[in-house]
Structure 1
Amino acid sequence: MTRRPVGETGAVDTTTTTAPTTRRRLRAEILIVLGLSLGEAAVYAVVNILARLTLTTPLGEQSTALNPSRSPRPYLDLVYQLLGIGFALVPVALALFLLSEPGRRATARIGLDGTRPWRDLAAGTGLAALIGVPGLGLYLLGRALGVTVEVQASALAEHWWTVPVLVLAALKNALLEEVVVAGYLIERLEQLGWGPRAVVATSAVVRGAYHLYQGFGPLLGNVVMGVVFGEYYRRRRRTMPLVVAHTLIDVVAFVGYALLPAAALAALGLA
């Protein structure tokens, strides 16, 4: 495969001469990575929404819980939470390993480094604001239309470690989704010779699919998020701002849900 240098905007000319054998291996690799991570979650989400739609209870009257407690014993619950976060990051390590090249680290290749922290923080904060507020609006609209389940962003009991674990869970989600669906998937699809629109659309659809268990509002919201994040990565070749944005969005959702009084959550249509 040949690839021309990165331009001033960070965009890469993805003209390739990938051999057929290499393309077959890349397709198999993509399926394996997705099958071990978010592709698996997408399949389960599709089955889950079909199961929900065939219940006698309307979709809008159903609920799902994120970050549930795993044990009534607090310290055992903490161990389970940390183990779940740690093992969920294994596909991230796999994707980075597969993207690495001689003389070039994968973290540098996809912009998951600390070379421009303030610019990444500013860009990530802007992306979080751009996506977070409309995302909440789509969730509330979906709830009003009865096509989105009630999402409990945190079902953890109150312990001294609850907020730190929720922050770690938010960071885990950000790393898993942005490294695999933005960085890894877009890089590999471009190596297969896919065009920009197809690459971004595929990344966005995968992102939306594994949120489908929450209903059709989150599906649409995450597809939109996937288009914005995918296009940002395609042009800038940096996942760090995406990780910052995703972490901020999830921290606000998880920690806010855990700390806000029930009356406030009810007023926002979140409980």
Structure 2
Amino acid sequence: MPGSTPSDLPSLPPLTRGERVRVRWEIWIVLAISVGQSALYSLLSFVRSILRALESSGTLADQQTTLNPTRDSAAFWDALYQLLSILFSLSLVAMVVYLLWEPGSNALRRIGLDFRRFGSDVGRGALLVVVIGVPGLALYAVGRMLGLTLQVSASPLDAARYTVPLLVLAAVRAALVEEVVFIGYLFDRLRRLGWSSWSIILTTAGLRGAYHAYQGVGAIVGNVAMGVVFGWCYRRWGRVMPLVVAHTLIDVVAFVGYPLAVVLWPGVFAPAVSPTPTPTSTATP
């Protein structure tokens, strides 16, 4: 039974009526400027892709989206824009951690984003890569074959010397933004509002699925499943770090290994003919 699963999450004091109102407003504001905004754009992009497929009598598999697009034709400016984009995204993580910080309480330690148990965190993260990463890749391939998933270009094919380090940083950025906000922050705030663990797990998993909806049906299903597993693990372990490790490893493999996958399995990973731009919440120079 879900209710019998032990939890390592710390108990939280009850909120007054005024504090509950403040927390609700805070949640909506955080979502509006971070993952919630991206989820809305992603859902609209998914609807637009469906309409485009109907107009052309094609499928979602005929369309393409790029996760780490080139921002400038000149190598130096492209690298600079990419780096600034990563840094500004991490500022959202810093803001959320700041909001979680309380007098006499270390927010990073409370959500388990520290290095006290780094060895076990890496081990648990590696296990999650096997549990989530391999089935996720299979789900993507099946979605492509069924015409339900867009062609996802994980990294530029015209790779420069700076590409791999930037892709690794992009993977770390994605892991921190998603796991700190979806798991660390929302678990803390929604528990303070009296939500049950499974209500939080299912809600954050649904939001994670919407966040990746622009990639198609396979990505929605896969990320909802990932959200459920990650939420359950956080409830069980009380630590965000294993989730960040797992998410980073999955994205590094996807980003850096994408060109190799194109060569080995062109039918699944090769770019579509007409790329379809996907709106994001990050300003593009």
TM-score with structure 1 length normalisation?
A: 0.93
Residue number in structure 1 paired with 2:282: none
Equivalent positions of 1:72-221 (< 5 A) are: 72-155=73-156, 157-221=158-222
Instruction: Return the letter of the residue paired with 1:25.
Output: R
Greater shift in the superposed pair: 97-106 or 173-182: 97-106
Give 1:222 shift.
0.2
Q: Find the residue that maps to 1:54 and give its secondary structure.
A: helix
| Aligned pair partner of 1:24 in 21, 26, 30 | 21
Distance 1:156 1:19 in 2: 54
Distance 1:13 1:71, change over 3 A: same
Residue number in structure 1 paired with 2:269: 270
Residue number in structure 2 paired with 1:10: 8
Q: Deviations over 1:194-252 (max 9, x none)?
A: 01111100110111111000001000000000000011112211000000000000000
CA contact (8 A) 2:7 2:235 kept: no
Distance 1:264 1:191, change over 3 A: same
Give 1:13 shift.
4.0
Q: Deviations over 1:35-73 (max 9, x none)?
A: 111100000011111111111232121111110000000
Distance 1:68 1:214 in 2: 15
Distance 1:30 1:257 in 2: 35
Give 1:265 shift.
3.6
Distance 1:112 1:141, change over 3 A: same
Instruction: Return the letter of the residue paired with 1:253.
Output: A
CA contact (8 A) 2:262 2:269 kept: no
Distance 1:34 1:156 in 2: 33
Give 1:89 shift.
1.0
Give 1:94 shift.
0.8
* Shift >2 Å, 4+ stretches: 11-14
Greater shift in the superposed pair: 98-107 or 240-249: 98-107
Residue number in structure 2 paired with 1:3: none
Distance 1:167 1:116, change over 3 A: same
CA contact (8 A) 1:178 1:239 kept: yes
Give 1:17 shift.
2.4
Over the aligned positions, Cα root-mean-square deviation in angstroms equals 1.4
Distance 1:103 1:18 in 2: 18
TM-score with structure 2 length normalisation?
A: 0.88
Residue number in structure 1 paired with 2:233: 232
Question: What's the % identity of the aligned pairs?
Answer: 49
Structure 1 alignment gaps of length 5 or more: 1-7
Instruction: Return the letter of the residue paired with 2:16.
Output: A
